[in-house]
Chains A and B, each alone.
Chain A
């Protein structure tokens, strides 16, 4: 669906994207992961035909984004970061305008607008001025816009940025749903987002593509998760190590209250293992003051990935 070969982009002397190549197969949901400023948005803007590349080329559904621009753009629905919209337009009116730009035939426009309003769950705000919408609704209007004309490919730049936790959950569920009928490429700087929504991951760091592949392979290192507990009482360590699913433990602080880092065998089983930890501690009469998951920071993961490559 997307073929990128040897793509580079310089802003003056700044190299935002350095010679990256990748492909995205039809029917997959791919996460484009990287810290802020890694070159995610620049790459997506080039894929969506907004920016020109310094070198390399991009094909969308077999059409070159530069020489067959209109053909290529008809294949994709793009949602820019922060989804910029015209504040003085009403939601349905804006979507009608966009459907016209995207070449939806006149006779189908109303039906198409109704369909995406429904799909992106903005029906209840169809006649509200965009300027009066909350951030979450604006994001959904951006998503509705990307869905107009049912393009086979969706490119979403940070679809959950700036949303509250409820909205994030909704948008993620929606993306998973869309993944059943579309090829989706979405960018994010949040690792857990990729875990929840994507099948494959592209990791970009300082303009370089540092890792690529199915999440499972890529995340083998990350599969082990750690939790930190604060307990009162002796021999807590032995109790913890006896729990099924616990790999190793390490005492961080000693004293009347002990802070212990517990490494779990599998991230998938994190919830269940934590429950088991609580029960085991209670049974042994050890007080539990605090239990919180510790996730490796994205920067740590990136440094791991980059050092591994070299």
Chain B
């Protein structure tokens, strides 16, 4: 796939030479640092050790602070991808080279996914710190990170798609944030609808449910199928969207 590596490298570099990636990462780490501090304080305040959940499980699965920032930050990471190239016209130079649209979309997506992973990397320190003062189940750490990666990958794919819909970065961010919020609200349906298909569906798409499962070390393949659908479908639409406004 010619051009994929070149586009990936350029895009990744562009994230880190502009302030955007640093702003997003700093904001993210401040929130997650506070989150982890609260979780630890909560456990430290308990007089007797009990239950089957430790701070790591709580961090990944029992609060909304883990993914609420993602609903805001993922759209910010992806909004630039196509909207900015269309606004400035650089997309014309990009798409008149002998590379395929799929290579362009995947290169950009891979770059934002890498940035997302880099954003999470420093939180490994929390796990290391916790392991110094108590027991850490590294399997749970593994499944926890798998879950945040899979959920985030879907969020970023949706953001990549909305970025291809418009020339305005702001519109792109708003569209993807609204989509993510809608998905989140759909997940709440699990606690509202009575027993039945609607409740099943809501439970299935619930990011809360997914984080809860994975934070207890349960890897449910249905959840992963959903995540991969949320990655592949938007990326497919992105390729079609880029071709559509170029060729129609």
- Point out residues on A near B: beta carbons under 8 Å: 45, 48-52, 69-71, 73-74, 78, 80, 82-86, 88-89, 97-98, 100-103, 145
- Interface residues of chain B: helix, strand, loop or mixed (majority): helix
Q: Which stretch of B5-13, B162-170, B193-201 is in the interface?
A: B5-13
In the complex, the answer to whether B99 meets A80 with C-beta atoms within 8 Å is no
Which chain A residues lie closer than 8 Å to B14 at the CB level? 86, 88-89
Q: Pick from B9, B90, B100: contact of A84, CB below 8 A.
A: B90
In the complex, the answer to whether B17 meets A80 with C-beta atoms within 8 Å is no
11 contacts between A and B (CB under 8 A): A51-B247, A71-B98, A73-B98, A80-B92, A83-B93, A84-B89, A85-B93, A86-B90, A97-B10, A101-B3, A101-B97
Q: Pick from B5, B17, B88, B92: contact of A100, CB below 8 A.
A: B5
- Bound-state CA distance A74–B2 (Å) is 12
- Bound-state CA distance A86–B92 (Å) is 12
Which chain A residues lie closer than 8 Å to B89 at the CB level? 80, 82, 84
In the complex, the answer to whether B7 meets A101 with C-beta atoms within 8 Å is yes
Which chain A residues lie closer than 8 Å to B221 at the CB level? none
> Chain A residue with minimal CB distance to B95?
A50
Which chain A residues lie closer than 8 Å to B17 at the CB level? 88
Check: B42 CB closer than 8 A to any chain A CB. no
- Bound-state CA distance A85–B94 (Å) is 10
In the complex, the answer to whether A48 meets B88 with C-beta atoms within 8 Å is no
In the complex, the answer to whether A98 meets B90 with C-beta atoms within 8 Å is no
> Chain B residue with minimal CB distance to A54?
B248
- Bound-state CA distance A101–B92 (Å) is 13
Which chain B residues lie closer than 8 Å to A71 at the CB level? 98
In the complex, the answer to whether B97 meets A50 with C-beta atoms within 8 Å is no
- Bound-state CA distance A145–B90 (Å) is 13
- Bound-state CA distance A234–B180 (Å) is 85
- Bound-state CA distance A239–B3 (Å) is 69
- Bound-state CA distance A234–B97 (Å) is 65
- Bound-state CA distance A288–B1 (Å) is 69
- Bound-state CA distance A74–B92 (Å) is 16
CB distance from B231 to the nearest CB of A (A): 25
Q: Pick from A50, A52, A88: contact of B96, CB below 8 A.
A: A50
Which chain A residues lie closer than 8 Å to B90 at the CB level? 84-86
In the complex, the answer to whether A69 meets B96 with C-beta atoms within 8 Å is no
- Bound-state CA distance A101–B98 (Å) is 7
- Bound-state CA distance A103–B99 (Å) is 9
Q: Pick from B9, B97, B246: contact of A73, CB below 8 A.
A: B97
Which chain A residues lie closer than 8 Å to B5 at the CB level? 100
- Bound-state CA distance A120–B100 (Å) is 28
> Chain A residue with minimal CB distance to B90?
A84
Which chain B residues lie closer than 8 Å to A86 at the CB level? 10, 14, 90
CB distance from A136 to the nearest CB of B (A): 18
With A51-B246, A52-B247 known as contacts, the answer to whether A100 contacts B6 (CB < 8 A) is yes
- Other A-B pairs beyond A52-B247, A82-B89, A97-B10, 13, CB < 8 Å: A48-B96, A49-B95, A50-B96, A73-B98, A78-B93, A80-B92, A80-B93, A84-B88, A84-B89, A84-B90, A88-B17, A89-B10, A100-B5
Which chain B residues lie closer than 8 Å to A78 at the CB level? 93, 96
CB distance from A2 to the nearest CB of B (A): 15
Check: B46 CB closer than 8 A to any chain A CB. no
- Bound-state CA distance A86–B10 (Å) is 10
> Chain B residue with minimal CB distance to A157?
B92
Q: Pick from B2, B10, B88, B246: contact of A50, CB below 8 A.
A: B246
